Amino acid sequence: MNYQECIDACLKCMTDCEYCLEKMIGKNSHNDCPHCCRECLDICDLCAKALARGSKYSAQYCELCAEICEWCAEQCAAHDHEHCQKCAESCRKCAEECREVAMKIAA
C-alpha cells in the first residue's frame, strides 16, 4: 500500500489519543488536553482510511491532520503523565509523516 508509513503513524496516533483521552477524563488539565485528543483521533482515523483507499483528497486530509496533530502534540507535551508524553510523541511523528505525504502529492 502507498504511504504505509504515514498510515501507520496515523493509526498509532489514533490509538494513543484514544488511550490518553480515556486516562485524562477526570484528571486536572491546565490546557486543551484531552480535548485535543478527541479531535486528533478523529482526523487520524479518517486520514488513514483516505490514504488506504487512495482518496483524491489525501493531501487535504494530510494537511489538516498535521495541523491538528501539531496542536495536540503541544498540549499533551505540557503534561507529565506517561500517556500524555507518548501521545505527544505519536502526534509529532504523525504530523511529520502527513506533511511529507502532502508535499509528495503536491510535487
- Binding site residues, its own copies, CB under 8 A: 1, 7, 11, 14-16, 18-19, 21-22, 24-26, 28-29, 34-35, 38-39, 41-43, 45-46, 48-50, 52-57, 60-61, 64, 67-68
Contacts of residues 53-60 at CB distance under 8 Å and 24 or more positions apart, as own/partner, are 54/2, 58/3, 58/101, 58/105, 59/101, 59/102, 59/105, 59/106
State the nearest-atom distance from the C-beta of 77 to its own copies, in Å. Answer: 18
Q: Report the residue number, 1 or 106, with the smaller CB distance to its own copies.
A: 1
Residue count of the chain, please give it: 107
Cell numbers at residue 31, please? 490546557
Euclidean distance between CA atoms 104 and 59, whole angstroms: 9
Q: Report the residue number, 57 or 103, with the smaller CB distance to its own copies.
A: 57
State the nearest-atom distance from the C-beta of 92 to its own copies, in Å. Answer: 18
Q: Report the residue number, 60 or 85, with the smaller CB distance to its own copies.
A: 60
